[in-house]
Amino acid sequence: RQNIAIFFPKDPPADLCTHIIFAFSSLKKGKLTSYESNDETKDGVPGLYERIMTLKKANPKLKILLALGGWSFGTQKFKEMSATRYTRQTFIYSAIPYLRKRGFDGLDMDWEYPKGSDDKKNFVLLLKELREAFEAEAQELKKQRLLLSAAVPVGPDNVRGGYDVPAVASYLDFINLMAYDFHGKWERETGHNAPLYAPSTDSEWRKQLSVDNAANMWVKMGAPKEKLVIGMPTYGRSFTLANTDKHGPNAPATGGGREGIYTKEGGFLAYYEICEMLLNGAVYVWDEEMKVPYMVDGDQWVGFDDERAIRNKMHWIKSNGFGGAMVWTIDMDDFKGEVCGGNVKYPLIGAMREELLGISRGKEAKDVNWTAVAATFEDLEEEEKPAPIKIDVEELLSKVRKPVKKQRI
């Protein structure tokens, strides 16, 4: 990434989060290994693992976990690694020294997604054996036990098809609910990336796709509320409208929106890219039903979270007794504080921290009131009206009157 989008793991303030999850690691021959060539320190050049660990010097209470998997990692390697006790133990006894040697405090399992009865059973066994091994190692070496968490889906079919929720929850320290990507470029009508509540215009199926519904589904299926950490996006999902006159939720779309100039992925924009668009004439709409905003810029439609939406969700987390909030990702917030205009770095994550931990973002910080700052549809209508044409009635009449012939008398 270029310019304002350049970010390194050592960049965030050490007290921005209580836990940081480094995404991602990989598997090689069933054993835990690095994902990128520059993760590890080589030839005296500090790798990304070593660089992120410098944050612990500034904040010894900070916990840093290593995530395994992710969307692009697929499922096959997870299936093979979890298939038998032998393959699971091979992984576990590679993982513990790997994590300890590099200073990690735990492991985040990001299998997207277990599917079917074998995967469901083997995922539970993998978590059970990991937890038991972590406990035994901590006891033997008189160290703090390695933490175990997992990133889990919100789609009803994915949850029912791959997760024995009470069993999974019993072995995890916390459960990271990926409460985003509810809608996106794979659909042919607009929908918000992370609505707190579904809009009334949704079909019965789509009404299941909201943060509130997903979190409560996990609770109903057996997850303790206090272990559920609710995911917050620092990005939006975009669409290209089929008809610019129809621009609400569930409006017809031809597919994803145009790629951002920094993130360069169709249908996807970082918060700082969204801010740039809002400051350059895009329309901001707060949706009172969904408790989140969306943006319309010509034929581009973007559902995203701003500070107002984040604060709403934090109040909802506290009033419902959930464990906390996590974010995907740190580097898509306005981390330099140079774009969105609130006089603050990390405006979204900082708002979470203020609401959940009571830590101020600073005296100068303020939430951006996009309703006042950004354009409205009324503004656009004013711009589209042609300037009034001044007409000289006498001049016009003189052009249409028939000339009167002068007659000699």
Cβ proximity of 307 and 368 under 8 Å: yes
Half-sphere exposure of 177 (CA within 13 A, CB side): 32
First to last CA, the chain: 91
- Picking from 334, 337, 352, 249, the residue whose alpha carbon sits closest to that of residue 291 is 249
**Is 190:251 a contact under the CB 8 Å cutoff?**
yes
- Calculate the CA dihedral of residues 110, 115, 118, 123 and round it to 10 degrees: 20
Output the CA–CA distances (angstroms, integers) from residue 251 to 128, 202, 213, 265, 334, in the order listed.
45, 11, 22, 22, 29
pTM, 2 dp: 0.92
Residue 112 annotated to the active site = yes
Helix (H, G, I), strand (E, B) or coil at 400: helix
The pLDDT score that the predictor gives to residue 11 is: 83
- Per-residue pLDDT at 144: 98
Which residue type, as a one-letter code, is found at position 170? S
What pLDDT does residue 409 have? 46
SS3 at position 243:
coil
Hey, what are 247's tokens?
Answer: 């621009």
Catalytic residue among 40, 112, 187, 204: 112
The pLDDT value recorded for residue 342 is: 92
pLDDT in the model for residue 359: 95
Residue 13: its pLDDT value, please? 93
Q: pLDDT tens per residue, the chain (409 residues)?
A: 567 778 877 689 999 999 999 999 999 999 999 999 999 999 999 999 999 999 999 999 999 999 999 999 999 999 999 999 999 999 999 999 999 999 999 999 999 999 999 999 999 999 999 999 999 999 999 999 999 999 999 999 999 999 999 999 999 999 999 999 999 999 999 999 999 999 999 999 999 999 999 999 999 999 999 999 999 999 999 999 999 999 999 999 999 999 999 999 999 999 999 999 999 999 999 999 999 999 999 999 999 999 999 999 999 999 999 999 999 999 999 999 999 999 999 999 999 999 999 999 999 999 999 999 999 988 877 766 666 666 666 665 666 565 555 555 4
- Of 323, 177, 193, 334, nearest to 262 by C-alpha is 334
Query: What is the Cα gyration radius of the chain?
Result: 27
What pLDDT, on a 0 to 100 scale, did the predictor assign at position 203?
95
Rounded to the nearest 10°, the torsion over CA 336, 338, 339, 340 is 80
Q: What are the structural domains of the chain? A: 3-233+307-369 (3.20.20.80)
Instruction: Give whole-number Cα distances, 15 to 11, 12, 219, 227, 360, in Å.
Output: 12, 8, 30, 22, 12
DSSP-derived secondary structure for 217-231: HHHHTT--GGGEEEE
Q: Count of alpha carbons within 13 Å of 396, Cβ hemisphere only?
A: 4
What is the rounded distance in angstroms from the CA atom of residue 54 to the CA atom of residue 65?
14
The alpha carbon of residue 291 and the mean position of all alpha carbons in its chain are separated, in whole angstroms, by 16
